[in-house]
């Protein structure tokens, strides 16, 4: 089980996703200079991830997972599916939601198709970065039921990173237990006593569309050219006269 750090129980909202990413960056400042790979769950999570990657001088990428909504209530996550096709389900919710095996299979396939569509869209602008043997930070703009984050963490863990850190701005208490089982470390900025939706904890929580995600990725392509390479500065210093 991974180490869990709760920064506060505050319910004070963040100004926006950028502020949330900046505050996470403070908590993970020890990773600066270690070339971490920061993965955001699109769409909103990519904004948090961008800010975090910039502060840590790390690389940015994304990992896609999709919610499986309840019958007649698609906003209620009874599970989620990740890029690797693995499905996470809230077993205790299935019967009360009226989700039988046929419904789940149909929804799984529908969400996998959406994952493929998004990957095709995003990867045209930004080739995938291999997380194997990397220090990886996985983030989103918040966790509600934890389903989409859990599916994403399974996908990333399957790629065998050296270290996997789950970093989230806000979450309810009951959503972190299973994530803690799969991550080496979990950091949550706010774990409020009363939680309804992630948007409750942001003054600005606008929808992010595919075009905005692609623009972020294009900007990151240019930024990566200027990222410090681990060990490079030390090597250069050692080759200078008098050093």
**pLDDT (tens digit per residue) in 49-103:** 999 999 999 999 999 999 999 998 888 889 999 999 999 998 777 777 888 999 9
**What radius of gyration, in Å, describes the C-alpha atoms of the chain?**
18
**pLDDT (tens digit per residue) in 148-188:** 999 999 999 999 999 999 999 999 988 898 899 999 999 99
**pLDDT (tens digit per residue) in 26-38:** 999 999 989 999 9
Whether 131 and 159 have beta carbons less than 8 Å apart is answered as: yes
Domains along the sequence of the chain with CATH: 3-64+127-236 (3.40.50.2020)
**Could you tell me the two tokens for 239?**
């080759």
Q: For the whole model, what pTM was predicted?
A: 0.91
CA distances (Å), 65 to each of 13, 25, 113, 119, 143, in order?
A: 25, 23, 11, 11, 13
Please state, in angstroms and rounded to a whole number, the distance separating the CA atoms of residues 56 and 24.
10
Q: Which residue is associated with the tokens 């984050």?
A: 149
Please state, in angstroms and rounded to a whole number, the distance separating the CA atoms of residues 39 and 229.
19
pLDDT of 233: 40
**Could you tell me the two tokens for 223?**
């930024």
């Amino acid at each position: 089980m991974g180490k869990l750090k709760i920064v506060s129980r505050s319910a004070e909202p963040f100004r926006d996703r950028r502020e949330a990413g900046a505050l996470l960056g403070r908590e993970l400042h020890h990773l600066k200079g270690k070339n971490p790979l920061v993965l955001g769950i699109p769409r909103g999570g990519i904004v948090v991830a961008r800010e975090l990657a910039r502060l840590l001088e790390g690389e940015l990428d994304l990992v896609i997972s999709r919610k499986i909504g309840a019958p007649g209530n698609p906003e209620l996550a009874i599970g989620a599916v990740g890029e690797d096709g693995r499905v996470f389900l809230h077993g205790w919710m299935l019967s009360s939601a009226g989700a039988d095996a046929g419904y789940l299979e149909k929804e799984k396939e529908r969400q996998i198709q959406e994952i493929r569509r998004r990957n095709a869209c995003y990867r045209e602008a930004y080739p995938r970065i291999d997380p194997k043997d990397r220090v990886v930070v996985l983030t989103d703009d918040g966790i509600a039921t934890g389903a989409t984050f859990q599916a994403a963490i399974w996908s990333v863990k399957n790629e065998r990173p050296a270290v996997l850190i789950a970093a989230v701005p806000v979450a309810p208490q009951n959503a972190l237990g299973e994530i803690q089982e799969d991550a080496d470390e979990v950091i949550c900025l706010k774990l409020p006593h009363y939680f309804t939706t992630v948007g409750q904890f942001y003054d600005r929580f606008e929808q992010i569309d595919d075009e905005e995600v692609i623009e972020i990725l294009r900007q990151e392509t240019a930024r990566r050219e200027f990222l410090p390479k681990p060990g490079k500065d030390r090597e250069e210093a050692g080759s200078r006269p008098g050093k």
